[in-house]
Structure 1
Amino acid sequence: MSLITRNLPRLFIQTSQITATRNIHNNLIANHPKITETDGSKIKCTLIPGDGVGPELMASVDKLFKAAGVPIVFESYFFSEVNPTLSMDLDVVASSIERNRVCLKGILASPDFGHIGELQTLNMKLRNALDLYANVVHIKSLPGVKTRYDNIDCVIIREQTEGEYSALEHESARGVVECLKIVTATKSQRIAKFAFDYAVKNNRKKVTAVHKANIMKLGDGLFLRSCEEIAKLYPTIEFEKMIVDNCTMQIVSRPSQFDVLVTPNLYGNIIDNTASGMVGGAGVVAGASYSSKCVVFEPGARHTFSEAVGKNVANPTAMLLCAAKLLNHVNLPSYGQMIRDAINKVLMDGKIRTKDLGGQASTQEFTFAVINNLKIPTTSHL
């Protein structure tokens, strides 16, 4: 009996399981319903300004959208863990996102309360309420932004509803804390399937599973086996596996070797931030979190930059790129491309730069420079 014949029953079971998972979760990359805009009406989008400089960055988006005539109306909610008395209720915010199916979100601060307070942060509660299981961060070199490397182009896909962020920890004895890392086959297969579907749809050639199965043989072992099983269903996509500590070294040594990376929760967070620093920092990288029904667009490197509040110095590029991605998602790609082209023109010219990119321009100056470079068509429809 051939190896293929022997493996057919197992592969059939795996395929059936994944098909059932696809039917339940209706994989967003391939099947999320597009919101069309053909009658001139506006699309409603939930807006969460966030903490730190988030409100200032959202003001930049608002100015840009108004200047470009983008047919979006924001349903805004103040949502914060550091100012809970003014914050809207989680259920209200989650219901708005579920209803609108799309959200633009600033970064929420997660205070360190030590052993006091709830273990789940507001970010975690929102992700769990909406089942925002896949975080996607596209790490791409921007024109005119000089860094150590050129032409970086990779995508980090992070599972963000379990793993080290399960909020299951307790002090079993004084001075002894047990923290549980939850890994399930269902969610590991789901994020692996998402990564391979993303690779297929976006003409990517390789998926790298990042793990620590050499030490966490059961937990990360299950994640890795799940990725290996899903990889068999995609014979045209190259698959490799890499231990997380080696991955962090490799990505700063030779980033060109990576295409799509799929990771458990904590590893993805670390690699997101490391890779963001390689293309210009937290101010220039956009991200998005997906469920089967909605998408939340937010910066890829989650820093509130609270020390800069009110100083008008934050780089709005990441948030503007998030807004452009949102426009693509709601079937307004011409507006999204117009915004990206304007951002690229400002960065290429190099005359208007915020301090994080070596310039002296303010948030507002950069925003107005992007607005001045918008190529708005003379016709009423894009």
Structure 2
Amino acid sequence: MTYNATLIPGDGIGPEVVAAAVRVVEATGVSFNWDEQQAGIGAYDDTGNPLPQATVDSIERTRLAFKGPLTTPVGTGFRSINVRIRQLFDLYANIRPCETLPNTKGPFEGVDLMLYRENTEGLYAGIEHFDERLQIADSINRITRAGSERIIRYAFEDAQRRGRKRLTLVHKANILKETGGMFLKIGREIAPEFPGIEFDDRIIDNMAMQLVIRPSEYDAVVTTNMFGDILSDLMSGLVGGLGVTGSANVGKDCAVFEAVHGSAPDIAGQGVANPTAVVRSGEMMLRYLGENGAAEAVRLALHDVYSDAKALTGDLGGTATTTEFADALVDRVEAHSA
């Protein structure tokens, strides 16, 4: 079977790391028909639109996208295209596995966490107002019962599929009693439907402290949009940084798999970028498609290459180029796929 997918190389180092990840994914023997499209600052420079209609139409047709990092202007300019894509296609669940690889620089060994982040609501819904006369800016933290129910239920169901034993709901219900309070209440309502998973909750500031002291005590986490954005970066720091963690954005019948790190324009075109984050996102894409054997080959290949440590990129203390790192991964993927 050949899968139709939209391919968005992205900005900065995006084209390099995406090209490497595509090689690794295709080395499994799974076939893709890639429809390459633009998004981000490069698309804006070329077309005047950071998310061209052709890109939207492609994702609408394929219902599957694989993308590199996009540059978002800070403070001014267009809003995040990553957020726009999630909202356009109602990709309500952001899934972020954080698992330690050998020879990485994380402060802990053996970290294995799952984060489920609500992806379309909260402060990131972008409902903002500015009173010019009074110079007051407001943002609305919109939380809905429907949105809360579907991300919490998704987290329970996916955690159950993965054999996870504990799900921790993170909130700020002690202060945000309506928004955070409703999210927590819904979690407590759904939890009895999943007796095989221990359910508890933590206040966001306490959870941030807990994760940097004793991450091994946690298993899977579900939370709202902004808290999830913050915790996902924190968890990535526990396993070596954003350069080694993948990400999936999943809706009812559409999914986008992407790098979570930035576009790093300062090293673009130098052939030194680490493609691990996009490769791990490719592994997640394969699992989403039901190609579990291929996904496992990618996972094992990453562990092999990191354990061997002969083809690591400079950020990991090695001297390999992006292409050389991809070559090593392809060799190992083919060996595990044989």
Give TM-score scaled by structure 1 length: 0.82
More displaced stretch, 171-180 vs 205-214? 171-180
2: distance between equivalents of 1:63 and 1:302?
A: 20
Counterpart of 2:306 in structure 1 is: 347
CA contact (8 A) 2:37 2:55 kept: yes
Counterpart of 2:254 in structure 1 is: 294
Distance 1:242 1:178, change over 3 A: same
Query: Helix, strand or coil for the counterpart of 1:374?
Result: helix
Q: Deviations over 1:155-213 (max 9, x none)?
A: 00000101010211122244321111111111011111111111221111111111111
Letter in 1 for 2:185: R
Counterpart of 1:94 in structure 2 is: 56
CA contact (8 A) 1:141 1:279 kept: yes
Cα deviation for residue 310 of structure 1 reads 1.2
1: distance between equivalents of 2:114 and 2:180?
A: 21
Distance 1:49 1:223, change over 3 A: same
1: distance between equivalents of 2:245 and 2:63?
A: 22
CA contact (8 A) 2:106 2:237 kept: no
Cα deviation for residue 92 of structure 1 reads 3.1
Counterpart of 1:125 in structure 2 is: 84
1:268 aligns with 2:191: no
Q: Deviations over 1:250-292 (max 9, x none)?
A: 0110001111100111110111111101111111111100000
Query: Helix, strand or coil for the counterpart of 1:111?
Result: coil
Cα deviation for residue 325 of structure 1 reads 2.1
1:330 aligns with 2:292: no
Counterpart of 1:80 in structure 2 is: 40
2: distance between equivalents of 1:250 and 1:291?
A: 30
Structure 2: gaps spanning 5 or more residues: none
Counterpart of 1:195 in structure 2 is: 155
Calculate the aligned-residue CA RMSD, in Å: 2.1
Query: Helix, strand or coil for the counterpart of 2:125?
Result: coil
1: distance between equivalents of 2:230 and 2:163?
A: 26
Letter in 1 for 2:264: F
Letter in 2 for 1:292: K
2: distance between equivalents of 1:279 and 1:47?
A: 27
Structure (1 or 2) with the larger CA radius of gyration: 1
Q: Deviations over 1:29-81 (max 9, x none)?
A: xxxxxxxx3xxxx2221111122211111111233355554411211101114
Counterpart of 2:71 in structure 1 is: 109
Quote the sequence identity (%): 36
- More RCO (CA 8 Å, sep 6+): 2
User: Residue 162 of structure 1: which of 115, 121, 135 is its match?
Assistant: 121
Map residues 312-331 of structure 1 onto 2, 5 A cutoff.
Answer: 312-331=271-290
2: distance between equivalents of 1:203 and 1:65?
A: 25
CA contact (8 A) 2:243 2:261 kept: no
1:143 aligns with 2:105: no
Cα deviation for residue 293 of structure 1 reads 0.3
User: Residue 211 of structure 2: which of 251, 267, 288 is its match?
Assistant: 251
CA contact (8 A) 1:161 1:265 kept: yes
Counterpart of 1:233 in structure 2 is: 193
Cα deviation for residue 238 of structure 1 reads 1.1
Q: Deviations over 1:341-364 (max 9, x none)?
A: 222211101122212212222212
Letter in 2 for 1:195: A
Distance 1:271 1:333, change over 3 A: same
Counterpart of 2:317 in structure 1 is: 358
Give TM-score scaled by structure 2 length: 0.92
CA contact (8 A) 2:6 2:62 kept: yes
Query: Helix, strand or coil for the counterpart of 1:204?
Result: coil
CA contact (8 A) 1:68 1:376 kept: no
Letter in 2 for 1:316: P
